[in-house]
Amino acid sequence: MAVLAAPVVAAVLLLTWAAYGEAQYVLYKDATKPVEARVTDLLARMTLAEKIGQMTQIERQVASPQVLKDYFIGSLLSGGGSVPRKQATAAEWVSMVSDFQKGSLSTRLGIPMIYGIDAVHGHNNVYGATIFPHNRIGAATALEVRATGIQYAFAPCIAVCRDPRWGRCYESYSEDHRIVQAMTELIPGLQGDVPANFTSGMPYVAGKNNVAACAKHFVGDGGTQNGVNEDNTIIDRRGLMTIHMPAYLNALQKGVSTVMISYSSWNGIKMHANHDLVTRYLKDRLNFKGFTISDWEGIDRITTPAGSNYSYSVQAGVLAGIDMIMVPNNYQSFISILTSHVNNGIIPMSRIDDAVTRILRVKFTMGLFENPMPDSSMADQLGKKEHRDLAREAVRKSLVLLKNGKTSDKPMLPLSKKAPKILVAGSHADNLGYQCGGWTIEWQGDTGRITVGMTILDAVKAAVDPSTTVVFAENPDADFVKNGGFSYAIVVVGEHPYTETKGDSLNMTIPDPGPSTVATVCGAAQCATVLISGRPVVVQPFLGAMDALVAAWLPGTEGQGVTDVLFGDYGFTGKLPRTWFKSVDQLPMNYGDAHYDPLFPLGFGLTTQPRTY
């Protein structure tokens, strides 16, 4: 055996040491390096398969740690109602997310996955979470989302709903873009406040108590003709830019990390295939540097019928500028087709690199590489009392008093807590699912005691004096009411839960027996009607019978927010965020229209003073 000379041995040792040292130092893993340097370093190391994996978001039900590893999947989501098990605890969510994350971290480059969920009015998929009135209180929501190990919320929806017949109108803050612009404050609530020297368009997430947010759905989702969901928004560019676009500028100024593309079309062009608005306007003109994401099977719906030409859908969606595709199920097909489009030169590598650069930028910025695993110590954030109190306050402030007394000199509210006997009636008085509405526990919401919370009936019983007898009758007959000796009645009726297209309505009436319950009870006793709905509905025909009318919207888990103002612990202050029509024949009708003849105008709301006991 040849004996190596000392200098050769020294050289080999030196090279080995250097190689070993080199193998240990990997720039993208160095948190002291600038994000852009880390992105560039990591991108340069990635294969096409690893890049396309980052662009792929799949549903948890088709995922496993092995799938995440084998396909380099960059993101997971829970669709509406997709949970580890019914009433899963925070710990069970954390365990599920941890297992998936271990799969991603076991890949060659160890790129952590980001898990998204529709936390659109609290962490609404999760049993026991605080359910806020839609679109409020970002910071508390972020903490409850993180309690389950999830780092990404598909919120806020900054749609400007221009026709309440749209099934998603309750997800929109208002018909007035200025209100929607103001309410983009949910973004710093979710993500944290951007620093002083922040550059608009860059993504920002302060740390592991925050989540990446998602401004949706870009753009014009709330302007479709007749409010038909996912349909066509017919408006000139000026109208699009002055009504539906302004809130996106606010969102970018506040560092929103992602933007979800709308199913809808603008003047016949599908948004998911709209390169002019997604790339040339949002990315190039507004300088958005986070990542865009498709909606659920959003690229499939580029074609009619949906999915009829998936190869074209992949090409059109990715070339339009969509960076991450919420596939969410047939990921093998998506990955195979996109790979083929790149290999055949149909989609340039530069487009893939732009998409992956944006995705990695968000992941590095939010610290996901440094903190990929859930923090199980945050479990107690889920449904904590401080958050419920916050939600209760939000409910109080969002209720709108539309009528108070048959004559203004005899207001009915606030109600007495010391009445001898009162009646609580109506389909929505003792139904937590109804008062939470859509996007709660189940995608379409549900009925009954669906999670932890207080119904309005619970809250009435808790609010009144012990000497007061509270009688509950969901749909009493007139004799029962007449002969009951009730000082007054509270009637709680409204819409049943719905989400997306299921909520599209042409008649805008509340389901039976709501109207007849109101007519019966209010015909036999002094009555305060509380309306549970995601939007203005038909009320004019029975407005005269009511002594008082409160629009309670979808108050979520905190029924006491409703009784706080009914009984005068707090005054009514809420104002209508949208026009309340007289008849559906008037729709669409928005503040500022030439012909504007509402039952109650945008901004209307009676006030009351808190009781001084």
Residue tagged active-site, from 171, 430, 495, 500 = 500
The answer for residues whose C-beta is within 8 angstroms of residue 1's C-beta and 6 or more apart is none
Q: How far apart are the C-alpha atoms of 500 and 329, rounded to whole Å?
A: 20
Residues 154, 146 contacting (CB under 8 angstroms):
no
Q: How far apart are the C-alpha atoms of 490 and 571, rounded to whole Å?
A: 18
Smallest separation, CB 439 to ligand GLC (Å): 9
- Residue with smaller CB distance to ligand GLC, 404 or 440: 440
End-to-end CA separation in angstroms for the chain: 102
- Residue with smaller CB distance to ligand GLC, 82 or 309: 82
Smallest separation, CB 165 to ligand GLC (Å): 17
- Residue with smaller CB distance to ligand GLC, 100 or 296: 296
The answer for residues whose C-beta is within 8 angstroms of residue 139's C-beta and 6 or more apart is 189, 190
Q: How far apart are the C-alpha atoms of 62 and 34, rounded to whole Å?
A: 35
- Tokens 């040792």 correspond to what residue? 13
What is the DSSP annotation of 105-162? HTSSS-PPPEEEE--SSBSTTSTT--BPSSS--HHHHHHHHHTTT--EE---B--B--
- Active-site residue 389, yes or no? no
- Residue with smaller CB distance to ligand GLC, 88 or 401: 88
Classify 199 as helix, strand or coil.
coil
Smallest separation, CB 194 to ligand GLC (Å): 23
Strand order in the sheet with 152-153: 152-153, 114-117, 75-78, 56-59, 325-326
Smallest separation, CB 213 to ligand GLC (Å): 12
Q: How far apart are the C-alpha atoms of 49 and 338, rounded to whole Å?
A: 10
Classify 600 as helix, strand or coil.
strand
Smallest separation, CB 596 to ligand GLC (Å): 30
Smallest separation, CB 154 to ligand GLC (Å): 4
- Residue with smaller CB distance to ligand GLC, 362 or 525: 362
Phi-psi region for residue 545, left (φ > 0), alpha (ψ -120 to 50) or beta?
alpha
Residue tagged active-site, from 144, 171, 295, 323 = 295
Smallest separation, CB 265 to ligand GLC (Å): 15
Smallest separation, CB 164 to ligand GLC (Å): 18
- Active-site residue 500, yes or no? yes
The answer for residues whose C-beta is within 8 angstroms of residue 462's C-beta and 6 or more apart is 454, 560, 563
CA distances from 63 to 73, 100, 298 (A): 9, 8, 19
Give the residue from 185, 174, 194, 181 showing the smallest Cα distance to 137.
185
The torsion angles phi and psi of 465, rounded to 5 degrees, stand at -65, 145
In eight-state DSSP terms, residue 240 is: I
- Residue with smaller CB distance to ligand GLC, 58 or 400: 58
Query: Which residues contact ligand GLC by CB under 6 A?
Result: 79-80, 118, 154, 216, 295-296, 500
Residues 134, 553 contacting (CB under 8 angstroms):
yes
β-sheet bridge partners, residue 489: 423, 527
Return the active site residues. 295, 500
